[in-house]
Structure 1
Amino acid sequence: MSDPICTLEQGQVKGKIEKDMDGNPFLSFMGIPYAKPPLDKLRFKPPQPAEKWQGIYDATKEPNNCYSLQVELTGFFPQVKLKGSEDCLFLNVFTHQLNKSGSENLRPVMVFIHGGAFITGSIARVTFGPEFLMTEDIVLVLMNYRLGALGFLTIEDPSFQVTGNAGLKDQILALKWVQKNIKQFCGDPSNVTLLGQSAGSASVHYLVLSPQTKGLFHRAVMQSGTATCPWARGKNNTEQLARTSRCKQTDTKQVLECLQGVTVQRLIKAQNKNFAMITGPGAQAAFGPTVEVPNPTAVITDEPLKLINSGNYNHVPLMFGYTSEEGILGAWGSRCKVKKKLKDMLPYSFGYDKDSEEARALRQKVFQFYYGKDKPNIGKMEIFAQISSDITFLRGIYQAIKGHVKTAQKPVYLYRVSIETELNAFKRILKYKHKGACHGDDVCYIFKAKYAKYKPSTIEERAIRRHVRLWTNFARTSNPIPNHDDLVKTYWNPATEKNLNFLDIGEELVPGKEPPDMDRIAFWEQICKGINEKYK
């Protein structure tokens, strides 16, 4: 069979034929440009649509990663390397059929946004192989977007067109590309489900809240992240980045021109010299999404929680979820005394100086709640992983869910991933011995990761098929478990104000009216009643 060729708005692309986990064929198109390379004067600015090309574009190879520190998980320990390219605004499309006649049946489209704390990550096949999802009759799209300072530099004066969130604007342009081109891949532009994990999940939530995305997608799945999580918020560090990049000018126009002119290597080295790569709740992210000053390209111009509570957002069916021990990631390498570590764990949005009397009193309350005498006698690292889970992920996720169930016009689903198999790759790589699913482990049940091995006819294969079915059911019908489903026989009710109905995804699927983490969430809600948080 010859290589498939698809005709797009910009020109023709050549793909290749691959096989899914069952050995059945699908069509693969990788590295399709959806925007002009964001170089020179386009650095930091909103993306521009890709130009047309002559001839047939080769879409058979993986695209460039966006330039950043990239975490590699292929060895014994995670390795961090500076790599990639500024010319990185590409997407991958996987389908079963091309729409050559214009009258083929159109399939549901699933568009995935990768994670990485807005400062690392990519759509590389080492983590995001499509072989699992392509066992279902869908069209799958994954996109790269700019990271770190390149994607989130902020200059508040809108006349410079660098008001922040360029990385989110990349994602929006990719969704517009989908609307214009996905029919050629037999994808239905009126049936697009947006999904993401970690920073990709928070990105999805920002796009749900944005007036710029109306009509670009019709459902949303958020895996382990929301716009209300502490790490999902950046700040304006332009002046400090300029100084470290040896841009000594003081005039804003000249500073921007200097930052646009320095090499990408110097810029990212300057970024990483001053700012931590992964930011916990105790410090605001150096570069990440921000609330913009009003301007024609602004993603959001008000606080996420205010938008949620007002109901002023895109009303589409929503699915939120998290892993049972997100904080294993935060506990990794934390062998210091817990009370000392807690000093850097209190959310920056509380506005306390970490050495203040208020902060010390609050840390003592936290310590007593999690480590009090009436608590189970479990390992200190296991408890610290719970604290990290709750402050870094669950508190923000539940803020969002509780707001949405009050104002949403469409169903809101909630799930919790607790399954533990050999596919829990991040937990295994981090050598965490206690129970629970780590942040990122759930990705390995919908994407084939080269570092997460599985064997046919095992619990891993059953879990993959079940997870894939839940996600693709939602993409088809807005219901993860429709009544006619022949694989899963558990009913999963949407969450409500009265009952935060949820589904525990373990070795079996267990529905419930309240997740088991709610006693800890209630503790943080009580704590926050007396605190005037900065971001509400």
Structure 2
Amino acid sequence: MASGSTTDLICKLEQGELKGQVHKDIDGHPFLSFMGVPYAKPPVGELRFKPPRPPDKWSGILDATKDGNVCYSVQNDITAPTKGPILFGSEDCLFLNIFTRQLNTENLRPVMVFVHGGAFVSGSSSRITYGPEYLMTEDIVLVLMNYRLGVLGFLTIDDPSLEATGNAGLKDQVQALKWVQKNIKHFGGDPSNVTIFGQSAGSVSVHFLVLSPLTQGLFHKAIMQSGTVTCPWSRGRDTTQQIAQGCSCINTNKTEMLHCLQHTSKETLLAAQTKLLLQTVGAGAKAPFGPTIEVENPQALITKEPVDLIKSGKYNHVPLMFGYTDLEGILSMMDTDAQLQTKLEDPVPYSFRYDHGSEDFLKLRKKINQFYFGNDQSDFRNKEVAFKLITDVTFLRGIVQSAKAHATTSQQPVYLYRMSLDTDLNFLKKVLQFKSKGVCHGDDLFYLFKPQFVKFNPKSIEEKSIRRFVRLWTNFARYGDPTPQKDTLLKTHWSPMTDKEFHFLDIGEELVPGVDPDHARLRFWDDISKGINERY
């Protein structure tokens, strides 16, 4: 490891010099930390809604010892939900956190770049939540990024000349990967061995990056945790007219509308955004903000339907890992009973294209209720069944669909896992006070990252599980194979999927290989979707 104290740890880049810090992993071994590193120009003023620009140079030494600004969002504090939503953050938010063991070394390490979740409207790479102390027990370079959220990251105006055709938040991620390619050697990272991984909306982002022609050569492996492009919430709607109306920017001239929105206060923009978010209901609903298919233009991230790209094989062929928690829908404990019942009354994915209340919709809803609840009506009070239905509609079906489709067309291995591990580290489930069996959406994160508010006992199942998760993920980053050899942590082999055998690994207190996970539930959805030409 490079020598240096907290006052003289300097990394020299083309942009300028950075001052970092020395921290320790959970084993007490030192690593180097550089936080709040700008990877793009601040997307403010005339750059609002537009693709990111390369960063400016700075003079002097930039203090990289604390988190950079988070991107604007309206967020609820999950540990204090009664406080209500609050607006915080900045538009000047395109920063990276970088963790490494050694600077400027010839022994280059695998690089892992993480994309946070938050339904494309919230979240950040803050060290408060995403502490590196677990992953840095392995010899890697870890990078975490912020990217624009909500209306600021996903406004769509279908005039290429205005450079605001959508997906600015995803284009931020592309710019971050370009920055990594150019600079990561200074941090001891190998630009020819980069793994992108993400959870929830971050996982969907990773999947879009796999499918995008803009990212060729920018990464070499990809891990998708609880989200793919075929999940119903993975796609945004074109809500520009509604946002413009809420900001008093309605104009038949798109140039003037964009100019008006670029000069609207953040508070007004976020108020219009919040109004649209409150109108989104249903387990299978399409989100108001998120990735969209762009009109053809040189800066477009994606211009073709993701499902068609997967089937055609026209995407970045790298080793892929997909996975999910076994009861993702526990997250709906955050809803009121009325909100949960509303969600259950609209369980048909929007991709089926049935009008709400139509005869076809009502027939399908009846079949779904019969399968899950055993009668014609859903029942929000039967939480275990309700959360299983929400898991299947919102996450499981789309994730397995994507994994199977890639297993058919990919030239590289495709791995699938299900997380059933239920310990005291499952923080979200504990906060939501769900007592029955099952792993909540997001609880996988607490085995890869160390939040400041979570502790575990040495030599416990929690510690063993952390080390197992970290080993699987970093093995995949290093080799493209999560179990290249058996060791004291990994005593089984995880086989990749094929177009005929859908292998998976159940990650519980033990690692158990299997075939066709949750087969009966997925077969039900396969049966009821036959003959339906799904359009996303």
Q: Name the TM-score, length of structure 2 as normaliser.
A: 0.95
Structure 1 position 54 matched with structure 2 position 97: no
Structure 1 position 91 matched with structure 2 position 96: yes
The one of 309, 326, 329 aligned to 1:327 = 329
Q: CA deviation at 1:348?
A: 1.4
Structure 2 equivalent of residue 284 of structure 1: 286
Q: Distance in 2 between matches of 1:409 and 1:96?
A: 33
Structure 2 equivalent of residue 357 of structure 1: 359
Structure 2 residue runs of 5 or longer lacking an equivalent are: none
Contact residue 231 and residue 280 of structure 1 kept, 8 A? no
Describe the superposition over 1:88-122 as per-residue Cα deviations: whole angstroms up to 9, x where unpaired: 000000001111xxx52000000000000101110
The 1:79/1:108 distance shift into structure 2, 3 A limit, reads farther
Structure 1 position 418 matched with structure 2 position 420: yes
Residue type at the aligned position of 1:529 = K
Q: Distance in 1 between matches of 2:417 and 2:291?
A: 25
Describe the superposition over 1:442-499 as per-residue Cα deviations: whole angstroms up to 9, x where unpaired: 0000000133331222111111011101000111111101125442110110011221
Q: Distance in 1 between matches of 2:439 and 2:184?
A: 35
Contact residue 331 and residue 384 of structure 1 kept, 8 A? no
Alignment of 1:134-173 (within 5 A): 134-173=136-175
Structure 1 position 467 matched with structure 2 position 446: no
Alignment of 1:385-404 (within 5 A): 385-404=387-406
Q: CA deviation at 1:287?
A: 1.2
Q: Distance in 2 between matches of 1:278 and 1:87?
A: 28
Contact residue 76 and residue 429 of structure 1 kept, 8 A? no
The one of 298, 306, 312 aligned to 2:314 = 312
The 1:473/1:47 distance shift into structure 2, 3 A limit, reads same
Structure 1 equivalent of residue 368 of structure 2: 366
Describe the superposition over 1:193-250 as per-residue Cα deviations: whole angstroms up to 9, x where unpaired: 0000000000000000001101000000000000111101011111110110122433
Structure 2 equivalent of residue 106 of structure 1: 108
Q: CA deviation at 1:356?
A: 1.3
The share of aligned pairs that are identical, in percent, is 60
Structure 2 equivalent of residue 524 of structure 1: 525
Q: Distance in 1 between matches of 2:202 and 2:282?
A: 17
Structure 1 residue runs of 5 or longer lacking an equivalent are: none
Alignment of 1:7-406 (within 5 A): 7-75=12-80, 80-99=85-104, 103-276=105-278, 281-333=283-335, 335-336=337-338, 341-372=343-374, 380-406=382-408
Query: Any idea what SS the aligned residue of 2:337 has?
Result: coil
Contact residue 228 and residue 398 of structure 2 kept, 8 A? yes
Instruction: Give the paired residue count.
Output: 528
Q: Distance in 2 between matches of 1:500 and 1:178?
A: 34
Q: Distance in 1 between matches of 2:125 and 2:490?
A: 30
Query: Any idea what SS the aligned residue of 1:314 has?
Result: coil
Q: Distance in 2 between matches of 1:345 and 1:425?
A: 27
Query: Any idea what SS the aligned residue of 2:174 has?
Result: helix
Describe the superposition over 1:327-361 as per-residue Cα deviations: whole angstroms up to 9, x where unpaired: 11135435359875422232112112221111111
Q: Distance in 2 between matches of 1:296 and 1:361?
A: 44
Query: Any idea what SS the aligned residue of 2:122 has?
Result: coil
The 1:170/1:296 distance shift into structure 2, 3 A limit, reads same
Contact residue 486 and residue 493 of structure 2 kept, 8 A? no
Describe the superposition over 1:110-168 as per-residue Cα deviations: whole angstroms up to 9, x where unpaired: 00000001011101122100000001100000000000010000001111111100000
Contact residue 47 and residue 173 of structure 1 kept, 8 A? yes
Residue type at the aligned position of 1:503 = L
Q: CA deviation at 1:76?
A: 7.2
Q: CA deviation at 1:379?
A: 7.5
Please provide the CA RMSD for this pair: 1.8
Contact residue 48 and residue 262 of structure 2 kept, 8 A? yes
Contact residue 210 and residue 299 of structure 1 kept, 8 A? yes
The 1:350/1:311 distance shift into structure 2, 3 A limit, reads same
Of stretches 343-352 and 391-400 in structure 1, the one that deviates more from structure 2 is: 343-352
Structure 2 equivalent of residue 502 of structure 1: 504
Q: Name the TM-score, length of structure 1 as normaliser.
A: 0.95
Of stretches 166-175 and 275-284 in structure 1, the one that deviates more from structure 2 is: 275-284
Of stretches 283-292 and 408-417 in structure 1, the one that deviates more from structure 2 is: 283-292
Alignment of 1:477-516 (within 5 A): 477-483=479-485, 485-515=487-517
Query: Any idea what SS the aligned residue of 1:72 has?
Result: coil
Q: Distance in 2 between matches of 1:368 and 1:249?
A: 49
Query: Any idea what SS the aligned residue of 2:87 has?
Result: strand
Structure 1 position 534 matched with structure 2 position 496: no
Q: Distance in 2 between matches of 1:109 and 1:388?
A: 35
Q: Distance in 2 between matches of 1:114 and 1:500?
A: 28
Q: CA deviation at 1:292?
A: 0.7
Q: Distance in 1 between matches of 2:444 and 2:273?
A: 30
